[in-house]
A and B are shown apart, each in its own frame.
Chain A
Amino acid sequence: MEAKNDSTNARATEDRRGFLTKLPTLGMAAGLAGGYGTFFGMAGSYLYPAASNNKTWLLATHLDNVGPGQAYPFRTPAGEQVVIARVGSGASAEDFIALSSVCPHLGCRVHWEAQNDQFFCPCHNGTFSRDGAPTGGPPKDANQALIRYPLSVRGNLLFIEVDLTSLTT
């Protein structure tokens, strides 16, 4: 305050004035970026496909239809092949597993090879054990297991949660 002729002080005043003249420009840029930015952000969220909400619980089968150690083939309405196997001795959801037939490597269809006791993917010779764990080929290298579907038991019925999204339904 007292040192009016101090050179540093003068420079500071100049800087402040420069900043003050720039403030409306910055504000304007911020206002425009904020408004239109949000608008286009919303456009992005409009275009980005929403997470599938087409999941639903369907009746898979009666518990009696899958004895211990047995497998039951289920096809989802969207055409997905699912293998439901009873791995435990009890009758709770944990005693069953439902495995997708889509190879986690690049999306080909695996099939069950009874003679080798494994699931086999013909695209890149990936193999999976009975419970879906990768045992050979690219899936083993990347440690990608077959996808398991959620199961639940109500009374004597086994329900499976599947996605209904498909072009055909």
Chain B
Amino acid sequence: MISIRHWFRERIPISGDVLRELTNEPVPNHLKRWWFCLGGTPAYLFVVQIVTGILLAFNYQATPTAAYESVRYITEEASYGWYFRGIHKWAATLMIAAVILHQMRVYFTAAYRKPRELNWMIGMCLLLGTLGLGFTGYCLVFEQLSYWGATVAANICDSVPWFGGFLKRMLLGGESYNEHTLSRMFILHAAVLPCVMILLLFVHISFIRLQGVTEFKFSDEPKDKPGFFSFFPDHLFTEVIIGLVLMLLLSFLASVVPAHLGPKADPFTTPETIKPEWFFYVMFRWLKLFSGTFAVLSIGFIIFAMFIWPWLDAGLRRITRNEEISTWIGIVAVIALIGLTVWEALAAH
């Protein structure tokens, strides 16, 4: 044993102590509270997505003639194909939910304030990346929703003033859905977005390490308790527990509510009722409420406002002299999000 350790130490000159020192960052006590693990959850789910995504990519073929058949093959023929596809689909749903909850937690605890404004913006990019993955992901199945979802999304891009047409052509690889579209979606979904996400996640986590986790004190904690606990192994165990709970949840969902396969994409018939995945309900309803260009521009404006929120918030606080102003705005925004989502979910058309 000792000789093997020695053999490796000679070739990889990092001592265990150094490694422990590097990773073993003290973690503030409030992270013992479970809802502060919402940042680790999407990270864990992202890993699940990479693993299951690679598995699915082994059997997926990104051409209009073969895509649907290959998804059918995965779902119906390959051993456990239905299970991995189910996990991939449900992990996507949970990941988006977790990212939103994580962002809400950061928002309501005002953890984005100075000096963490940049990390908030990276977080925003990760949110958009996650949504982009969700969108391109369901385009790949090549069922009716995939085709019409992509078509509708491209035409939404088209209504952006000045460079809308450019966006649409970039997205579809042509004036309308054509034989190049699917491979674009696939490369975005399986290569571009994941790579960007990995880089951003690295920066996101590096920022946390550099700036340290925002510390919170809760009134019910004893004053004399040490304010920190060690990352390894204590917090790691917490994350492992969360990972296992998520795996259980995913397994349960994948086998009880398996990912099904709708009718194959048919460019000649738009389905009677067409709805995107739930996480786009808000936008979908918004687009129904307002006319094309205004709706698109307002969504763009809202996203821009979210990006620069740390500075907007600071400005608002200065102007209104109300420290709680962001909380109130947040509550209104959350109610609006939930309201629009529920409205869209309940509406028949």
Whether A and B are associated in the same complex: the answer reads yes
Binding site for B on A (CB under 8 A): 32, 35, 39, 42-43, 45-47, 50
Chain A's closest residue to B240 (CB) is A32
**Given A32-B240, A42-B80: A47 in contact with B247 (beta carbons within 8 A):** no
Q: Which of B51, B80, B240 contacts A45 (CB 8 A)?
A: B80
**What DSSP secondary structure best describes chain B's contact surface?**
helix
A43 to B78, CA, bound (A): 11
**Given A35-B247, A39-B247: A46 in contact with B240 (beta carbons within 8 A):** no
Q: Which of A35, A42, A47 contacts B244 (CB 8 A)?
A: A35
**Can you offer 11 A-B residue contacts whose CB atoms are under 8 A?**
A35-B247, A39-B247, A42-B79, A42-B80, A43-B55, A43-B80, A43-B84, A46-B58, A46-B79, A47-B55, A50-B77
Among B64-119, those with CB < 8 Å from A are: 77-81, 83-84
Rounded to whole Å, the gap between the CB of B1 and the closest CB of chain A is 17
Residues of B within 8 A of A50 (CB): 77-79
Among A32, A39, A50, the most chain B Cβ lie within 10 Å of the Cβ of A39
Residues of B within 8 A of A39 (CB): 247
Interface size class of B (residues with CB under 8 A): 10 to 19
- Total CB contacts across the A-B interface at under 8 A: 27
Q: Which of A32, A35, A46 contacts B84 (CB 8 A)?
A: A46
A42 to B240, CA, bound (A): 21
- Contact mask for chain B residues 107-148; partner A; CB cutoff 8 A; 1 contact, 0 none: 000000000000000000000000000000000000000000
Rounded to whole Å, the gap between the CB of B233 and the closest CB of chain A is 10
Please tell me if the beta carbons of A45 and B79 are within 8 angstroms of each other in the complex.
Answer: yes
Residues of A within 8 A of B247 (CB): 35, 39
Residues of A within 8 A of B77 (CB): 50
Among A35, A42, A46, A47, the most chain B Cβ lie within 10 Å of the Cβ of A46
Chain A's closest residue to B74 (CB) is A46
Please tell me if the beta carbons of A43 and B81 are within 8 angstroms of each other in the complex.
Answer: no
Apart from A43-B55, A46-B78, 9 more pairs, CB < 8 Å: A32-B244, A42-B84, A43-B51, A46-B79, A46-B80, A46-B81, A47-B58, A50-B77, A50-B78
Residues of B within 8 A of A32 (CB): 240, 244
A47 to B80, CA, bound (A): 9
Residues of A within 8 A of B55 (CB): 43, 46-47
Rounded to whole Å, the gap between the CB of B51 and the closest CB of chain A is 7
Rounded to whole Å, the gap between the CB of B106 and the closest CB of chain A is 30
A89 to B16, CA, bound (A): 79
Residues of A within 8 A of B79 (CB): 42, 45-46, 50
Rounded to whole Å, the gap between the CB of B211 and the closest CB of chain A is 31
Residues of A within 8 A of B240 (CB): 32
Rounded to whole Å, the gap between the CB of A18 and the closest CB of chain B is 18
